[in-house]
Amino acid sequence: MLRMKVKAVGIDRETLLPVVILTDETEESYVPLVIGPAEANAIAVVLENVDVSRPLTHDLLLNTVLTLGAKVDRVVITDLADDVYYAEICLVQGERTLRIDARPSDAIALALRSGASIFVDEKIAPYAMATPGEEDPEMEQFRSFLKDLSPDDFRKEN
């Protein structure tokens, strides 16, 4: 398994869809994941250290896991089929390890709240991870996207 970290979350300028960008520890490779707006907000809240007055859905999930005497050990992006990513949340409860099927965005939001590690399974890494060269136009567009990203990109305008 390859350890990843969340680099950014924002709106893709071409598709106008929310994305989360995972990078390896050296930030030489990345995995862009299209996610829903609610999950983008749930991830951005943690990345930007935004205080919320009441628990959000992923906070509630973490509180439930902890109340049941378990902890989030790690999350793993396990598969890629028909352009859809799959993930597992790995919980440890006493001597038991529990694997819960999840959408990657929900797993990432939970991992950020719990401090759990995020991994990509090596079997999908060749298909999921991009390692751009110096003159890769997609990477230049990605860098431009990251440069202009702000938490306001996720706030609804009234």
Cα separation, 29 vs 154, whole angstroms: 25
Average pLDDT over residues 26-35: 90
Token code pair at residue 72: 């989030």
Instruction: Name beta bridge partners: 92.
Output: 71, 97
Burial level of 71, CB count in 10 A (0-12/13-18/19+)? middle
Q: What is the pLDDT of residue 121?
A: 94
Residue 129 included in any domain: yes
Q: Indicate the number of domains in the chain.
A: 1
Q: Is residue 117 part of a domain?
A: yes
Residue 158 inside a domain? The answer is: no
Give me the CATH number covering residue 86.
3.10.690.10
How far is the CA of 100 from the CAs of 11, 41, 42, 128, in angstroms? 28, 22, 19, 21
Determine the structural domain holding residue 84 and report its residue range: 2-152
In a domain, 157, yes or no: no
Share of the chain above pLDDT 70, in %: 82
* pLDDT 10s digits, 93-105: 999 999 999 999 9
pLDDT of 119 strictly over 60:
yes
**How does pLDDT run across 62-94, given as a tens digit for each residue?**
999 999 999 999 999 999 999 899 999 999 999
Q: Are 116 and 73 in contact (CB under 8 A)?
A: yes
Higher pLDDT, 147 or 37: 37
The average pLDDT across 118-136 equals 78
Q: Give the Cα separation of 139 and 11 in Å (integer).
A: 16
User: Residue 51 is encoded by which pair of tokens?
Assistant: 């205080």
- Whole-angstrom distance, CA of residue 102 vs CA of residue 88: 5
On whether residue 8 sits in a domain, the answer given is yes
Is the whole model's pTM more than 0.95, yes or no? no
Among candidates 112, 35, 45, which has minimal Cα distance to 72? 112
The token pair at 94 is 């006493």
